[in-house]
Amino acid sequence: MCGIVGYIGKRDAFPILVEGLSALEYRGYDSAGVALVNNSGLSVFKDKGKVDHLKEITSDIENATGTKIGIAHTRWATHGAPSYANAHPHLDVNKRIALVHNGIIENYSILKEKLKKEGIEFLSETDSEVLAQLVGKYYDGDLSSAVRRALLEVEGTFGVAVIAFDNPGVIIGARRGSPLVVGVGDDEMLLASDASAIVQHTKKVIYLKDNNLIELKHGFFNTTTLDNRKINPEIHSLDWDANALAKDGFEHFMLKEIFEQPDTIRNAMRGRLLVDDGTARLDGLNLVLQELRAINRLIFVACGTSWHAALVGEYLIEELVGIPVEVEYASEFRYRNPIIDAHTLVFVISQSGETADTLAALREASRKGATVLGICNVVGSSIARETHGGVYLHAGPEIGVASTKAFTSQLTILSLLTLLLGRMRRISHSDGVTIARALEAVPKQVKKILKQNERIREIAGIYAKHNNFLYLGRSYNFPVALEGALKLKEISYVHAEGYPAAEMKHGPIALIDKDMPSVVLALKDSVYDKVLSNIQEVNARGGSVIAIANEGDREIEKYARHVIHIPKTLPLLSPLLSVIPLQLLAYHIAALRDCEIDQPRNLAKSVTVE
């Protein structure tokens, strides 16, 4: 992985390819490259580093322009460190084939040894070059057939784009477990791992399904399965435009997306929150009310930030719906033997809808007969297509690698789900209306918190040089503590740990000193007094406390060195508000440490490998 772009048409391919790579930079990567078909054969330009570096090394090269077909790639290292040799595109030994690849070829070492015995010399450490050499081995002028034969030998995941120097009228794309989107333009075709690389050229797209192969020509495409059965794919229309990819005056996409949250939370509720009825409508679940009433157990499966949202969902549903909930790491769920019956409902949560571990967990749950529903942001994604139903976030494209607006949108959907299920079981009409009205008020309350941005930046300035943080919360805000710590780790490269506040004395308290600040979520709820005691334990050991507290709480100021106040809401909705200052704190600390915020090192936006 991480990004693929392909173009064939009537325009100059090179600037379109590089522009597409720039649109994919948010996914995280360590090298970039382009392959073009021209009169003299294949021209390949690649190196470790950013797309801007690729532009520099091609700025004075004549054969970088004028061609009408090419493929490009941004790489996030899996097999082999970032280097010129390991960067994509890869060529076969005869330099007839150029290939870019996302995913993991699990049996690459077996295939590589086999090819070496046939006299093929490898130039890189990557699994992807094995695939290029395999396609080259089978290529006899029919590129589609060669790719098909090669992929039938592959175990693992792939999204590939392939061109041949003596076949300048075709690009072959194929996928299994790694997304590919085809853009259908005016006498031109595009291919990408993400629609953001396509949207400025066309809004008509095809989402390739697993084990699909597509042949792209000038204004023409042919889609088949890997075993060569004809497919007539549906053409979709993108519901967002290229303007969504602009920073709109913000220094970073992450900051823009933090400030978009009043709108994205509102979008997640629009048409779904029925305030007067004290309930919610989630049409995408594709379940009749009787089926929902029959559920006696629910499992959330997710990774990273989505896993933290799922933890909040566990608190919500167990308290207000009264059914047991389990929250599973997708990467562990797929290798266990989970107990699932006809009354178990499985929800998979993923921003991108392409997270490899979550997809594998989805398929495992489906194999065991579970009803599997999805919560994701990307229309047409694998999770959206493979689940029995689900709910879109409608958050728009999230460019920053560290998720912010998707997290609060996930919390909003989980609150709506709780309201829907709860009204069927335990929540009265009047309580439902109270919850719905409080949820309706959240966007304005988030906007109020965002007005403290400058003050939070000042607090960040005091602590930006610290290299260790502790995040503490209880009840609904324990998962928020985990998420706050994750945000700081992701973009500031600062060590941070989240804990239930009461667990601090069972080990982490040994770490507290003047150099380890504690960020404590101390909201006025049933455990407020307990959290105050935890703060005093930190103070007694010389630690500094940054507290997130409710407006009007002056008592907290006796114990915390710095206090960030947020509006009051129902405790069950407090994570939607308490996470906002933690996002801003992480952002400003990262900015003050001069970190690469939108594309933090070693991370990728959509993790499509295990």
Q: Which two tokens stand for residue 362?
A: 């989805």
Q: Dihedral of the CA atoms 26, 27, 31, 34 (nearest 10)? A: -90
* 192 touches 211 (CB < 8 A): no
Q: Would residue 2 show up in a list of annotated catalytic residues for this protein?
A: yes
Q: Where are the beta strands (DSSP E) in 226-272?
A: 230-231, 236-237
Q: Which residue in 2, 303, 376, 595 is the catalytic one?
A: 2
Q: What is the C-alpha separation between 24 and 17, in angstroms, rounded?
A: 11
- Report the relative pairing of strands 212-217 and 181-184 from DSSP bridges: unpaired
531 phi/psi in degrees, rounded to 5: -65, -40
Residue 438 burial (C-beta neighbours within 10 Å; 0-12, 13-18, 19+): middle
Q: What are phi and psi of 81, to 5 degrees?
A: -70, 165
> Considering only CA atoms, which of 302, 277, 308 is closest in space to residue 431?
277
For residues 538 and 520, give the distance between their C-alpha atoms in angstroms, rounded to a whole number.
10
CA distance 41 to 163: 11
203 half-sphere exposure, CB direction, 13 A CA radius: 6
Question: How far is it, in rounded angstroms, from Cα 99 to Cα 54?
Answer: 18
Nearest to 214 by CA among 239, 183, 177: 183
Euclidean distance between CA atoms 564 and 484, whole angstroms: 14
CA angle centred on 581, ends 578 and 583, rounded to 5°: 105
Q: Is 605 a catalytic residue?
A: yes
Distance of CA 480 to the CA centre of its chain: 18
Catalytic pick among 112, 256, 489, 605: 605
What backbone phi and psi angles, to 5 degrees, belong to 235?
Answer: -95, 125
Query: In sequence order, what are the beta bridge partners of 105?
Result: 156
Catalytic residues: 2, 605
